[in-house]
Amino acid sequence: MAGLQELADRLAISDTITRLFVYTDQGRWDELADDVFAETVEFDSGFGDPPGPRSGRDIARGWQAGLAGLDAVHHQAGNHLVEIDGDSASAHADAIAVQVKKDAANGPSRMFVGSYALGLRRTDGAWHIDRFAFHLKVLDGNVELT
């Protein structure tokens, strides 16, 4: 049976993963950088950029720029599997993301379905994502939002 600290850690890790998606959807870029990502993240976007270390702030700013022309973004995530080892953890999550551009001539939306392999580290009592890898399973709709 899990101890109280392990249960508290699992809840905090799950909350960090939820904030990853909610803060992105709501455009809360500073909170994403400060409260979700570690200072340095081993980052693999899954979209062909070379994987490697990036600052959490750089990731948040890149997403802010990349999503700026959209009318809406919505992530629905779940299937969290968490493994904790002291002050580090690994987690799996599945998610669906819908991006909307209402004036796109070829359809207003595109949908991404994929899974995330995340690493987290506890620093100053809080869990932050320090490893991020996305694996795209399905891309559907108006892929280019043109």
Residue range 15-62, pLDDT digits in tens: 999 999 999 999 999 999 999 999 999 999 999 889 999 999 999 999
pTM of the model: 0.96
How many residues are recorded in the chain? 146
**pLDDT average, residue stretch 75-95:** 98
Supply the CATH classification number for the domain 4-141. Answer: 3.10.450.50
- Map residue 96 onto helix, strand or coil: strand
pLDDT of residue 2: 73
Q: What is the mean pLDDT of the chain?
A: 97
- 15 half-sphere exposure, CB direction, 13 A CA radius: 9
Domain ranges of the chain: 4-141
Pure H helices in the chain: 4-26, 29-31, 56-67
